[in-house]
Amino acid sequence: MAGTRKKTTDDPLAPLTLAVGQEELLIERAVRAVIDAARAADADTDVRDLASGELQPGTLAELTSPSLFAERKVVVVRAAQDLGADTVKDVKAYLTAPAEEITLVLVHAGGAKGKALLDAARKAGAREVECPKMTKPADRLAFVRGEFRGLGRSASAEACQALVDAIGSDLRELASACRQLTADVEGTIDEAVVGRYYTGRAEASSFTVADRAVEGRAAEALETLRWAVATGVAPVLITSALAQGVRAIGKLAGAPRGARPGDLARELGMPPWKIDRVRQQMRGWTPDGVSAALRAVAEADAAVKGAGSDPEYALEKAVVTIAGVARSRSR
């Protein structure tokens, strides 16, 4: 319970750091911050980075036992939610009396599995770094804004949105793009700058494929799809964007008529600008059409994840089906 937690600290050299979540980039940053701080304090810091299977009963006691040379040490335990029961007992016991000059980093996926260890670490006053998987476009947009702020640069809201549209969901690529733009461009980074650097990718983004498909523009959707695949956009990102596009239409179709965009945005979990776009896209769509489109996306998703022999064909089939449903609205 939150009320039982001890006061935490932002010091990366705190005896215990929890990195909680499944976003790899954020996890690596959390671990790296601890290691960098430890090596800044002592260049000879010993770092032990262990998978959960490597931490057996007694291993932690061995790693954290006093050193003859009193060296600083960082012990990183990955996938702590998968630790065995006996090892969990060792970790819990250690938390009650952590060793000096040693920083323990537990990387935990969060969720129900291994929750007892998570709760114990929090109760012990662990410094916690949240590393959630960023599945929502709004989260990725906030991430990009934060990256530019962290780099000491100003970027317009339109530029941040254009970068998310162009790059997609890969945080490593988004972070890399922010660094590149910051290094190459002087002054405020605007939408035109992003367009110059990422025009090809922006035009071939997974969300552009989805937009063209749900608007019934089959030829443009197929052309954009083929370009996206050719430039390395992962097929699973395209099926995800298609699913989001169709589901957005289904959600808005079932929303109360006459509601204001701001109210709908809060209720449906979409930004207001997207409400306006989906309203234009959904004209004439029927519940049966939404169902047919979602079935097509589900089949394509299964195919790109290994159930089919030709992922590209599966994507094209889904795009044609969705665009066909959208075209039927005007008949």
- Determine the residue type at 310: D
Q: Quote the pLDDT of residue 270.
A: 65
Tokens representing residue 261 in the block: 């965009």
Query: Count H helices, E strands: the chain?
Result: 15, 5
- Per DSSP, the three-state class of 205 is coil
Model confidence, pTM: 0.60
pLDDT digits 0-9 by tens, 135-186: 888 899 999 999 999 999 999 999 998 888 877 778 888 998 899 899 888 9
Which of 171, 179, 99, 112 lies closest to 141 in space, CA to CA? 171
Q: Quote the pLDDT of residue 257.
A: 67
pLDDT digits 0-9 by tens, 41-58: 999 999 999 998 899 999
∠ at Cα 216 (204, 262), nearest 5°? 80
Phi/psi of residue 40, each to 5°?
A: -70, -35
Question: pLDDT > 70: what percent of the chain?
Answer: 86
Q: Quote the pLDDT of residue 147.
A: 96
pLDDT at 327 over 50: yes
3-state helix, strand, coil in the chain (%, to 5): 60, 10, 30
d(CA 287, CA 30): 45
> Between 304 and 274, where is the model more confident?
304
d(CA 328, CA 290): 12
Average pLDDT score, the chain: 85
Average of pLDDT values for 256-276?
66
Q: Quote the pLDDT of residue 56.
A: 92
d(CA 220, CA 218): 6
Q: How far is CA 37 from CA 18, 30, 72, 206, 316, in A?
A: 16, 11, 11, 39, 50
| Helix-helix angle 235-253:261-268, to 10 degrees | 120
Cα distance between the two ends of the chain: 57
pLDDT digits 0-9 by tens, 189-238: 998 888 877 766 655 578 888 888 988 889 988 988 888 887 777 788 88
Question: How many other CB atoms sit within 10 Å of the CB of residue 33?
Answer: 15
pLDDT at 7 over 60: no
Q: How far is CA 44 from CA 16, 37, 47, 100, 101, in A?
A: 20, 12, 9, 16, 12
Q: Give the DSSP H/E element, type plus range, for residue 265.
A: helix 261-268
Which of 250, 255, 245 lies closest to 215 in space, CA to CA? 245
Least confident of 2-16, 143-157, 214-228, 284-298: 2-16
Which of 192, 233, 191 lies closest to 209 in space, CA to CA? 233
